[in-house]
């Protein structure tokens, strides 16, 4: 049943105009950013070659663009997720879900995976744009691959967080505003305090940047699994609460 819910959520996203506008917007921004970075790289490339520098297009074009893509995902995923649970409640469709032989876990996990599938084209189209640069410049394919994996991981994590937030509210607009608040907080948390602050581990960027630098650390994976998993469990709790079961 999770597969059915996932595919339904994916179809629902594609039927709406928001998805296509966000895809076009993201693609436009990524293309513009990557070509701007490439232009800047082309200007300094002779100096880098002359100085036998160890940094190249991967460091100066690909990774900064992935950083920008991360911000774009933070901006776009709440827009796609706001209706996933709150929209069902607001439009009265939640009754259809709750009356059906579907468990709360199947609803939430299906919604998360469906949202992730909907975000995937944003990540993949941006990644293909960046991969196309490999036709003209030399790329570090391992780091590029890890960068794509980082974006896919962040996209899944964002789906978990935003679907949970959507479950808190009866109106999509409230879910959207709160999702932006939560994500902005997690995004800025490390810049508001030093690395020694006890809440530094909750910040998002310190767990993404190592992956963009080519480091795959267990603590980063643990961060995404634990916070994303907790969000899914809380989302299931929220749907159960709507049934009055808790």
Task: Choose, by CB under 8 A, the member of 79, 98, 152, 225 that binds other proteins.
Answer: 98
Nearer to other proteins, 16 or 181 (CB): 16
Residue 16 binds other proteins (CB under 8 A): yes
Site string for other proteins, 103-122 (x = CB under 8 A): x-------------------
The helix (H) or strand (E) run that includes residue 210 is helix 205-212
Cβ distance 73 to 154 under 8 Å?
yes
Query: Is 93 a binder of other proteins (CB under 8 A)?
Result: yes
Contacting range for other proteins; rule: CB under 8 A; set: 37-45, 87-95, 127-135, 173-181: 87-95
Spell out the residues 6+ positions from residue 167 whose beta carbon is closer than 8 angstroms to its own: 85, 86, 108, 234, 235, 238, 239
The yes or no reply on residue 20 touching other proteins (CB under 8 A) is: no
Q: Which is nearer to other proteins, 217 or 241 (CB)?
A: 241
List 4, 141, 193, 226, residue binding other proteins (CB under 8 A)? 4
Distance in Å, CB of 103 to other proteins, minimum:
6
Which is nearer to other proteins, 101 or 194 (by Cβ)?
A: 101
Question: What token pair was written down for 129?
Answer: 């744009």
Query: Which of 99, 191, 194, 198 forms a contact with other proteins (CB under 8 A)?
Result: 99
Q: Which of 46, 101, 194, 198 binds other proteins (CB under 8 A)?
A: 101
CA-wise closest residue to 189 among 180, 198, 181, 199? 199
Q: Which residues contact 240 (CB under 8 A, 6 or more apart)?
A: 104, 246
Regarding 21 and contact with other proteins (CB under 8 A), the answer is no
In this structure, the number of other CB atoms found within 10 A of the CB of residue 191 comes to 9
- Rounded to the nearest angstrom, the gap between the alpha carbon of residue 211 and the centroid of all alpha carbons in its chain is 14
SS (H, E, C) 54-104: CCCHHHHHHHHHHHHHHHHHHHHHHHHHCCCCHHHHHCCCHHHHHHCCCCH
Contact residues toward other proteins (CB under 8 A) are 1, 4, 8, 11-12, 15-16, 91-103, 243-245
């Amino acid at each position: 049943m999770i597969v059915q819910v996932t595919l339904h959520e994916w179809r629902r996203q594609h039927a709406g105009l928001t998805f296509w506008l966000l895809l076009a917007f993201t693609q436009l921004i990524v293309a513009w950013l990557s070509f701007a970075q490439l232009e800047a790289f082309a200007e300094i490339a002779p100096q880098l070659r002359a100085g036998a520098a160890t940094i190249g297009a991967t460091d100066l074009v690909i990774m900064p663009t992935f950083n920008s893509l991360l911000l774009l995902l933070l901006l776009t995923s709440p827009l796609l997720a706001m209706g996933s649970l709150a929209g069902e409640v607001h439009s009265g469709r939640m009754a259809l879900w709750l009356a059906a032989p579907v468990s709360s876990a199947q609803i939430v996990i299906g919604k998360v995976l469906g949202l992730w599938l909907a975000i995937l084209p944003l990540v993949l189209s941006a990644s293909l744009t960046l991969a196309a640069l490999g036709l003209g410049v030399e790329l570090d394919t391992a780091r590029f691959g890890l960068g794509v994996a980082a974006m896919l991981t962040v996209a899944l994590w964002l789906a978990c967080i935003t679907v949970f937030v959507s479950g808190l509210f009866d109106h999509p607009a409230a879910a959207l505003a709160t999702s932006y608040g939560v994500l902005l907080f997690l995004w800025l948390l490390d810049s508001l305090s030093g690395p020694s602050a006890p809440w530094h581990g909750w910040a998002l960027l310190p767990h993404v940047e190592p992956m963009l630098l080519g480091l795959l650390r267990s603590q980063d994976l643990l961060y995404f699994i634990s916070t994303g998993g907790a969000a899914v469990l809380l989302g299931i709790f929220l749907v159960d609460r709507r049934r009055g079961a808790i």
